[in-house]
Amino acid sequence: MDPLLIVAFGFAVVVSGLLLRLHPFLPLLAGALLVASLSSPAKVLEAESARFATRVVGKAEGNEYFVLRSSRQTLRSGLYLAVALEALLPEPVEIEVLESGTTAGLTRIRCVRPLPEGTTALIPANRIEQATQLADAGPGERVTRGFGNTAGSIGIMVALAAIIGECLLASGAADRIVRSIGAAAGDRFAAQGFIFTGFLLGIPVFFDTVFYLLLPLARALYQRTHGHWVLYVLSVVAGATMAHSLVPPTPGPLLVAGELGVSIGLMMIGGTVVGLAATSVGYLYALWADRRWPIEMKIGDSNRATSIPRSFDEAACPPLWMSLLPIIVPVVLIGSVAMLDLRSSDEPDSGWQSWLRYLGDKNIALGIACALAWLLVLRGRRMTRQEAVALTQKALVAAGSIILITSAGGAFGAVLQQTGVASVLARLFPLSSFALLPLAFLLTATIRIAQGSATVAMITSVGIVAPMVVAREFAFHPLYVALAIGCGSKPIPWLNDSGFWVISQMAGFTEVETLKTASVMMSLMGLVGLLVTMLGAWLIPFV
């Protein structure tokens, strides 16, 4: 069956299930099983082998060649199978990796014998065996493998991030951060303070919780100033929504980075830069919308939110520096490893760099942050042992649902890759390097508009885009593709999006008011984020 038709059937199942208000886990799993059942073993073998192919781009001298460096895997000396004229040659050849960076983006290798005429790629011999086993597996097993690989990649981080978020709320640390930034900004710069606070808290805490936390402050400020309700609400939205789609460890960017071979630290740095740039434009739109539609806070809005985190007495909150540690420490550790990765791969780590790389492992860094967050809870000694256990259980229940959804989305993305749809799209749309970025953006935006969830849109889109990134030579790092997908999850939130209703009901906006304020602002921020991403790919390609 044609890969595009298989993908269309899979999308139809997922979108239909979400429109029926089923839990996203069920339609994603059903779509994955359908796609896996319709994919032929031959296509699975071809697509899976292509994931690990290293492109041969030219001959050097003698038995030496230049190959394109892969961002998804490390090229090592060993046995490889050559691909010539789209056919896999049966005789393996042993290669030796000589040096990287001799030519921009290339690695020099030496073969024990000349490669056959017309060789276009090399595939590790052990990967061919794995691809064959996967092609011979049944649909259920292939879906299970995709599910398990995704859960293994993101599960620990999502669970730890959920615990950190709950501890920040329960200890009063989040309250301290909000109070401190609000006091520093004052009434005059309160909107900027909301944006910064929302972005900072949006890294470890989910969007709706950040919104619940900050909106009471916006209400209190409105009651003092008697105006600018739209500005305050949109400022709360602007920061948290960009962090949600661009900065790990939130599930969407976490999975997208993993699928594209982008380190978590580099995704954090890139997501922060692009997110803050897009948020700045969102703030300008909020200023304009506040003047254009001076909506007043409606009487009774303060009773709408039944799940707003409780406030603490200021004396009961931990100090600001202590409150920020669970957020700043993992960002610094993981970001430091990302900076180490930007060095030449031939330069060995020193002793302290090895320790930094150990502590900056994504799971260890989040584990340290989790311990720091627990110390904040224990510091106040306001919780009994039973309450502390209940706090952890609450966090893990929320994390479990997110892990199930994200892992089911990862399984759906994995079987989409196995259909060979990437090669079909590459033939239909012979893209230049930079055309991939708007394509990834539009694909994600289309899925977001159809089914409403930004996270589901990101993990579905990357399943199609990732093989295209691996199979072709691009003039920039895959980081920029990941950022384009994150920005594409912003347009256009409307009535099928749960976040749309959180904003509408909490702020007291009508559906039309929410569409012309928050929805337009988020769509604009997504577009600006794409432009910043494309500019970055042009100026700082990282290849």
Winning range, highest mean pLDDT, from 74-83, 141-150, 344-353: 141-150
Helix (DSSP H) and strand (DSSP E) numbers for the chain? 22, 7
Dihedral-angle region of residue 207 (phi above 0 means left; psi in -120 to 50 means alpha; beta otherwise): alpha
CA–CA distance, 173 with 374 (Å, rounded to integer): 11
Going by pLDDT thresholds of 50, 70 and 90, the confidence category of residue 284 is very high
Q: For 80-93, how does the pLDDT look when each residue is reduced to its tens digit (9 = 90+)?
A: 777 765 566 667 77
Average pLDDT over every residue of 366-370? 88
pLDDT attached to residue 531: 96
Quote the mean pLDDT of the chain: 80
For residues 379 and 176, what is the distance between their CA atoms, to the nearest angstrom?
14
Higher pLDDT, 360 or 267: 267
> Concatenated DSSP letters for 482-506?
HHHHHHHTSS---TT-HHHHHHHHH
Residue 302 has pLDDT above 50, yes or no: no
Mean pLDDT throughout 465-494? 84
Q: Which pLDDT band, with edges at 50, 70 and 90, does 115 fall under?
A: confident
Q: How confident is the model at residue 306 (pLDDT cuts 50, 70, 90)?
A: very low
- List the beta bridge partners of residue 431: none
User: Residue ranges per domain, the chain?
Assistant: 3-46+403-539, 53-131, 155-398
What CATH code would you report for 53-131? 2.40.10
**How far is 370 from 162, CA to CA, in rounded Å?**
9
pLDDT for res 300? 47
Residues 2-36: tens digit of each pLDDT: 888 888 888 888 878 877 878 888 888 998 899 89
